[in-house]
Amino acid sequence: MKLTPIALVLGLGMAPLFPATAALQTEQSQQGNTASVSTTLQALEEAQSKKSAQEWGLTTEEWQRYQQLSKGRRGILSPGLDPITTLGIEARSEEERRHYADLSVKQDFQRVEAELAFQREVNAAWVRVYPGILPVRSAGDAGQGNGRLALFVRADCGTPCETKVASLLTSQRLLDIYLVGSEGKDEAVRAWAKKLAIPVERVKAKTLTLNHDRGQWIKFGQGRMPVVLQQGENGWQVTAY
């Protein structure tokens, strides 16, 4: 069949419409998929923010502000700072600062209570499972408060450390001894305790504890050896004991 000029022109003009329509549909489909993925990611981020906020006792708005602060100057000055402390330091009013201070104290109280409860169970387990072995703690808060003293010594310290240990044992003060340089080896602590005749009954009664130093000496000891710390109004301080 011979095509007329009009039919030929119409045919040529309509031919590109099919590829163009298919390309448009593909583009619209891709845009729809991208929007769907974006919406899903946003929903996941919102759910995670809500969960994180609840874990710290914060609102979603407070959590978002904490994240913003962590990405700014405060995050550089104090990397790794917890949300409540961050918000408290960057409080915008006295009322807000007081709110975060109260929240911090309440959560610290709950944390300490839980840790002490577990430590009591660990202490009981030592007596139950290994009654003839001195329990050695891997770490702890120096001095633990409640009038306790924290003594930091080294196994190779010699007479100065031995004299300080003897003096504190005689005073009958509640005492937490930290062996610096023990490298987490319980036997090293036990050998040192045996050498200095640390009273086993006091360790079992928890009036005296044996501990590995986990950086507390560097943080609080001011480079002194031996050194005794006690908690005061301004935190842990070197004492005259």
The CATH number of whichever domain residue 182 belongs to comes to 3.40.30.10
Query: Which residue in the block uniquely carries the two structure tokens 């003009």?
Result: 13
pLDDT at 131 over 90: no
> What number is the average pLDDT over the span 218-234?
82
- Could you tell me what percent of the chain has a pLDDT over 70? 76
228: left (phi over 0), alpha (psi -120 to 50) or beta: beta
pLDDT at 91 over 50: yes
pLDDT at 67 over 60: yes
**Is residue 28, in this structure, part of any structural domain at all?**
no
> What number is the average pLDDT over the span 32-57?
79
Confidence category of residue 10, pLDDT binned at 50, 70, 90: very low
- Domain extent for 153: 136-238
What is the count of structural domains for the chain?
2
Query: Does residue 185 share a domain with residue 108?
Result: no
194-208 tens-digit pLDDT: 999 998 888 888 889
pLDDT at 34: 65
pLDDT at 237 over 50: yes
Q: What is the mean pLDDT of the chain?
A: 80
pLDDT at 182 over 60: yes
Query: Does residue 145 share a domain with residue 61?
Result: no
Nearest 5°: the CA angle 123, 128, 132 is 90
Query: Does residue 231 share a domain with residue 141?
Result: yes
pLDDT at 224 over 50: yes
Query: Does residue 232 share a domain with residue 147?
Result: yes
Other Cβ atoms less than 10 A from the Cβ of 169: the count is: 18
3-class SS shares of the chain: helix, strand, coil, % to 5: 60, 10, 30
> What number is the average pLDDT over the span 102-131?
81
